Amino acid sequence: MKHTLLTLAALLCLLPAAADEGMWLPSLISERIDEMRAKGFRLTAEDIYSINRASMKDAVVLFDGGCTGELVSAEGLLLTNHHCGYDAIQRHSTVEHDYLTHGFWARSREEELPNEGLNVRFLVRMEEVTDRLAAGETAEELIRAAEAEGKGYHASVEQMYYGNQQFLFVYRQFDDVRLVAAPPSSIGKFGGDTDNWIWPRHTGDFSVFRIYASKENEPAAYSPENVPFRPEKFFTISTRGVKEGDFTMIYGFPGNTQEYILSDAVRYIAERSDPAKIAIRDGRLEIIRRAQQSDPALRIHYASKQASIANAWKKWQGEVLGITRRGTVASKQAYEEAFDAWAQDKPEYAGVVSALKAEYARIMDPYFAREITAETLYALPARYTDKERAEEAFARSEAAERAQWEYLLGAYARYCPEQYQVPEFLRGVARCGSPEAYAAELFEGVWSGADTTSMASLRGDAKRMLSHVTWLLGTKSLRNLTSSRLNELYTTYIKGLREWDRERAFYPDANLTLRVAYGTIAGYEYADGEYHKPQTTLDGIIAKDDPEIYDYDIPQRLRDLYASKEYGRWGTVIDGRRTVPVCFLASNHTTGGNSGSPVLNADGELVGINFDRTWRSTMSDIAFDPAICRNIAVDIRYVLFVIDRVGEAGYLLDEMKFGRKR
Ligand code: ARG
Ligand code: GLU
């Protein structure tokens, strides 16, 4: 009997996990709710999204236009990632008050720091408007009407399935968002670029903010008179922890995926675009790294820029690896060929695959030129603003800035297909003798502020080239198709796919609109015979700790806590050891923009904050492979432990609400 059970269990493990692919529209979540409940979810579709009563969506925000955050108190307290708050933390940091290095803990509401330009948006509602638009209403009319509904309202109409459906999204924006707490970077960015996109992971990637509103609880510009915002809903926190197989759900704002593109586009990304952009960033990062190492003021000055350049640079490498190892080009090709065979006797779809392929062949070169131009010429400033010039570190960055100019113009000459190099550039290079010499001349002018016309004219020329390319392409970006020949073809292609592939669960590509992803806590087979468990602990941090290595040099306080085992209520026995849980792995489908998203358990309680994916699994922007695609979250118990035991800011916990104990 025991034997049979074991065999059955072993068999079940071998079966492919029900795919956890998908980023679902919250207003349509009732279509998925049965499957979610079968996986363990205990709440209803109305609990996730409702326009009649408070629901989870009212506790989720788009943070700073590109990340996600979640409300965790009745007084507007909000959690997101450290890397999402990074810009704000950097802005408040100086060599004397270096919050990036040492962390920041407001000891009272008065000490919470305002952040000009930082805002959050709540989704008020979303609705499909395909029929209304077809009947003659315009998107502008719908947007204008929605924005008149309330203070701070912003609306947009977004395309789903390449325009087969359109949705109106109505948001309420709050502009007074203050920094409450951030751990030292040696916790919040522990592992740095070395560990970024890597599992096993030990990063305490969180920061704490608070939304302020007018006395009427309405959106308001920053004012000392403002009061903490009272949200309709905030998440209860679970300290019960997670274990392999547990249901998880992620609620957030994934930015951009392209799950339905042809093999031609996948090949272009993996063989041409990503490798070129990676190589260009290699050199740029080297220049910045040297500057940061030579001068503490420059370390801060370049912190945020370096992190964002390095982040995509490393992600693209993982994407290429994943696509190559998993044979994505071949599998996409087989898929589109099977569709094409089915389509042969259907006039609407018969020619669409070959037309798409022809269109790709036509636009690949100019599109590549566009990407290279953005990565080089457009990575350089047309001028340095007065605000930048006023910064103490500005003068000290001169050599590193000049080096980047020379390097990037050199890269433009090398990578941009010659027929797309702009005339102004070619003339400059001919006159000065080399791209580097031309760059040095341009730089002198822009740096001193004396000659801003030369650079403006180069950029003007590049801009004309780009609009020529845009005209050739019929679109601004292959990632965000708007109206173009390619988009029209994809509109037809995906309509056909949905008729043909009855087995597949279709969901619209991510486009920075609110989505639900669900899956389970899950490890994965990293390599033959090498299984990666889904949970890391404080013991792993201590094992990596090394005062000689910047990325692994932890605060002394953490070492002391480990030595004395004073974990307080956050100590937990894992695999027979008493420790503190740090990060966990799950099978939710996420992408950039999901950073800071709440990770919720079967009861809708907060168990973690999403912040990353494993390296090769970043291919899930193009094809989700359930065998390897995993998201990475920081365990909420580690967040609470750091707030309580490292920051000694336990008073923040007093305004949070905790679920039932084990
Ligand atoms: N990879 C994560 C994301 O895409 C975290 C990035 C921040 N960390 C860093 N070392 N740059 O945003
Ligand atoms: N760190 C990413 C972000 O900034 C999320 C990780 C991912 O791309 O999955 O949104």
Give the tokens for residue 438: 């031309």
Q: Decide: 112 and 652 in contact? Cβ < 8 Å.
A: no
- The residue among 363, 367, 370 whose CA lies nearest residue 412 is 370
Q: Which of left, alpha, beta for 433 (phi over 0: left; psi -120 to 50: alpha)?
A: left
Q: Decide: 68 and 207 in contact? Cβ < 8 Å.
A: no
Looking at this protein, which amino acid is placed at residue 576? G
Euclidean distance between CA atoms 347 and 351, whole angstroms: 8
Q: What is the pLDDT, as a whole number, of residue 486?
A: 85
What distance separates the 2 farthest-apart alpha carbons in the chain? 86
Q: Percentage of the chain surpassing pLDDT 90?
A: 88
φ, ψ for residue 625 (rounded to 5)? -110, 110
The Å distance, Cα 410 to ligand 2 centre, comes to: 31
Q: Decide: 622 and 324 in contact? Cβ < 8 Å.
A: no
Mutate to test the pocket of ligand 2, among 201, 313, 611 (most ligand atoms within 8 A of CB): 611
The Cβ-side half-sphere exposure at 127, using a 13 Å CA radius, reads 14
Q: What is the pLDDT, as a whole number, of residue 470?
A: 66
Mutate to test the pocket of ligand 2, among 595, 616, 621 (most ligand atoms within 8 A of CB): 595
Looking at this protein, which amino acid is placed at residue 234? F
**Angle formed at CA 637 by CA 210 and CA 230, multiple of 5 degrees:** 25
SS (H, E, C) 523-551: CEEEECCEEECCEEEHHHHHHHCCCCCHH
Euclidean distance between CA atoms 629 and 250, whole angstroms: 15
The residue length of the chain stands at: 662
* Ligand 1 contact via 612 beta carbon (within 6 Å): yes
Strand partners, 574: 577
Q: Which residue numbers are catalytic?
A: 83, 205, 595
Q: β-pairing, 60-63 with 606-613?
A: unpaired
Q: What is the pLDDT, as a whole number, of residue 474?
A: 60
Q: Decide: 260 and 509 in contact? Cβ < 8 Å.
A: yes
Strand partners, 210: 77, 178
pLDDT digits (tens, 9 = 90+) for 18-30: 569 999 999 999 9
Give the tokens for residue 385: 């603003």
Q: What is the pLDDT, as a whole number, of residue 364?
A: 87
The Å distance, Cα 330 to ligand 2 centre, comes to: 27
User: What is the Cα 383 distance to its own chain's centre?
Assistant: 28
Give me the helix-helix angle, 352-375 and 274-294, nearest 10°. 20
Mutate to test the pocket of ligand 1, among 64, 194, 196 (most ligand atoms within 8 A of CB): 196
Euclidean distance between CA atoms 59 and 251, whole angstroms: 10
Looking at this protein, which amino acid is placed at residue 324? T
Residue segments in the chain with a per-residue pLDDT below the cut of 70: 1-19, 469-483, 662
The Å distance, Cα 196 to ligand 1 centre, comes to: 6
Give the tokens for residue 439: 């760059």
Q: Decide: 595 and 81 in contact? Cβ < 8 Å.
A: yes
State the DSSP code for 462.
H
Q: Decide: 650 and 644 in contact? Cβ < 8 Å.
A: yes
Euclidean distance between CA atoms 412 and 434, whole angstroms: 12
Euclidean distance between CA atoms 358 and 632, whole angstroms: 39
Q: What is the pLDDT, as a whole number, of residue 487?
A: 86
User: Has this prediction a pTM greater than 0.85?
Assistant: yes
Euclidean distance between CA atoms 546 and 151, whole angstroms: 51
Shortest-distance ligand to the CA of residue 312 = 1
Q: Decide: 82 and 204 in contact? Cβ < 8 Å.
A: yes
**Angle formed at CA 225 by CA 220 and CA 230, multiple of 5 degrees:** 60
Euclidean distance between CA atoms 508 and 248, whole angstroms: 21
Q: What is the pLDDT, as a whole number, of residue 464?
A: 83
- The residue among 483, 482, 514 whose CA lies nearest residue 169 is 514
Give the tokens for residue 117: 């330009």
* Ligand 1 contact via 66 beta carbon (within 6 Å): no
Helices (H), 92-189: 99-102, 130-134, 139-147, 185-188
Give the tokens for residue 661: 């104990």
Q: What is the pLDDT, as a whole number, of residue 471?
A: 63
Euclidean distance between CA atoms 296 and 96, whole angstroms: 11
* Ligand 2 contact via 595 beta carbon (within 6 Å): yes
Shortest-distance ligand to the CA of residue 597 = 2
Contacts (Cβ under 8 Å, ≥6 apart) of 366: 420, 468, 469, 472, 473
The Å distance, Cα 613 to ligand 1 centre, comes to: 9
